[in-house]
Structure 1
């Protein structure tokens, strides 16, 4: 458990403790946004530089195909489980949240692999970008499908009554039109910046890597620690949202831990079939096991207002994110080394 003594992880613990103690410690929203954009840009550049050095290989293609398969399989599996526990819209929203990825978990895992002297291929940044949108698209399509058929009694959402849609249950004329929401999902600023930075790194190669070294290497550790401090504060703020779940709290909390581990094992199985090495398999498992708490919730608030944000944000940020950060990353790494060598 050496990674728990990493300064970045300890700053997350500090932020979590400060939030639980109701300290007035706070990271201004514009600074938090800057830090997230910095991490995506630095990660994209590192990936591009590494890809420029290695070139496009069969292994790169296999990793990207595995990522796409995972991006479709995870929300489908989560939906099959969650529809037995939750109303349709809540189940679809939580499934989409777990079908997408956490950039911060991925960045942290990448950093820890570098610290251990076993860095993964930079092309895994492209795998992360590919996995971000499919779950959002599936959720938007499912929301329109759930609203499609005949009629049902209205349920309250905010201050308005809407129809609780479902197969054969009735239309609900709520949410955003399909086209604009899909466009928002596919042109998300974080994904555009990540892929754009990866392209810049690929085009500039070794010369660009030397020029950007102070930005992508020297500053990275400190800014990651600062961002994880903010994530600790956010995690503490998300926990009260889980208090109102009543009898559902225990099975959903169990899903928020067991589900990601199962998704990580599925990712390791795909990595084995694809012939990936242990570091790349670790990152694929981290991607499969992570859940979105920024990009997907931002889209779902407009696309699926029938779902409860406290539920899908509370589970992903309040349970899964700290679990992955503290226990999940070393678990997936150990399993990858044991299984793939």
Structure 2
């Protein structure tokens, strides 16, 4: 049975493909994005309040290396097989080395609906994996030279809206702890699934707008948009098992590895690599990879996690 939030995504996709007049207010989409980031961060911070942070440092280092490796692999494939120019290959690779908050939110809901436990530091993985791919992508596109505006780049990367909301809400959840968060759980926890459903409705409408770009650039983007997340999923699976995560935790790390950014990275790439064509990277990451992960990837990744990391029961 398909999860109800995924049905909202399919509804938006079909409505957009049929050129329906359905459209959510831009302010609502922005509000839902902020809400989901805050809710995920608070949950992660609450979990961190229950455990020591220092032992997590090796895990954080491992997931950072995972994001860097994915970016380099994607860049090599785009250059060698797709014959992308340097700027577009670097920009698109950064999308696939980073992560999708929406895909992660759906995976959280998928696990919660089935009462499958997972490690609380998964939300921290989400925050730290967003940044390295951006830096690597810019270096691949530009190289390091005396004209690099590191101050502006660092501000855009580390103080972007998504990273700020995640880190800030995680800090609040960590400092407040379970008891301190109790008065607001009715808003940020119990309304999470409804907000996610509305967000995915709008995502379906957005994805439908990128079908034209996919038709223009042939089968390569379609193939890459499916093959790259599968390859990244294997890297995430290997990393999760090596870190000793539970099947639920491995599933979330695999989902993060297999996802592709379409919010933070496009904003950073517009600033740092303006000559790259955002339609190419968004058509692949949002038009192919995002629906693939929602409809096929998440259940597949969990089956792999259970098979290789042990029975989740």
1:329 and 2:298 aligned: yes
SS at match of 2:189: helix
Aligned partners of 1:182 and 1:243: how far apart in 2?
36
Correspondence for 1:45:
42
Correspondence for 1:236:
208
1:196 and 2:168 aligned: yes
TM-score (norm 1): 0.86
Correspondence for 1:65:
61
CA apart distance, 1:294: 1.2
Aligned partners of 1:253 and 1:264: how far apart in 2?
17
Correspondence for 1:75:
71
Residues 109 and 283, structure 1, Cα contact 8 Å, conserved in 2: yes
Correspondence for 1:157:
none
CA apart distance, 1:76: 0.7
Correspondence for 2:103:
105
Correspondence for 1:306:
275
Aligned partners of 2:178 and 2:149: how far apart in 1?
45
Residues 51 and 121, structure 1, Cα contact 8 Å, conserved in 2: no
Residues 140 and 178, structure 1, Cα contact 8 Å, conserved in 2: no
Correspondence for 1:289:
258
SS at match of 1:218: coil
Residues 63 and 124, structure 1, Cα contact 8 Å, conserved in 2: no
Residues 35 and 188, structure 2, Cα contact 8 Å, conserved in 1: no
CA deviation string 1:266-315 (max 9, x = no partner): 11101111111111111110010000111111121221122111100110
Q: How many residues align?
A: 307
CA apart distance, 1:182: 3.1
SS at match of 2:186: helix
Larger radius of gyration: 1
SS at match of 1:122: coil
CA deviation string 1:152-211 (max 9, x = no partner): xxxxxxxxxxxxxxxxxxxxx9xx844312320121111111111111111111212311
1:132 and 2:104 aligned: no
Aligned partners of 1:51 and 1:273: how far apart in 2?
21
1:24 and 2:51 aligned: no
Aligned partners of 2:184 and 2:54: how far apart in 1?
25
Correspondence for 1:143:
141
Residues 129 and 191, structure 1, Cα contact 8 Å, conserved in 2: yes
Aligned partners of 1:280 and 1:61: how far apart in 2?
16
Residues 67 and 128, structure 1, Cα contact 8 Å, conserved in 2: no
Correspondence for 2:184:
212
Aligned partners of 2:66 and 2:188: how far apart in 1?
29
CA deviation string 1:37-70 (max 9, x = no partner): 1000001101111121234374x34432321111
Aligned partners of 2:28 and 2:279: how far apart in 1?
24
Correspondence for 1:9:
6
Unpaired runs of 5+ residues, structure 2, are: none
Aligned partners of 2:53 and 2:28: how far apart in 1?
36
CA RMSD of aligned residues (A): 1.6
CA apart distance, 1:36: 0.6
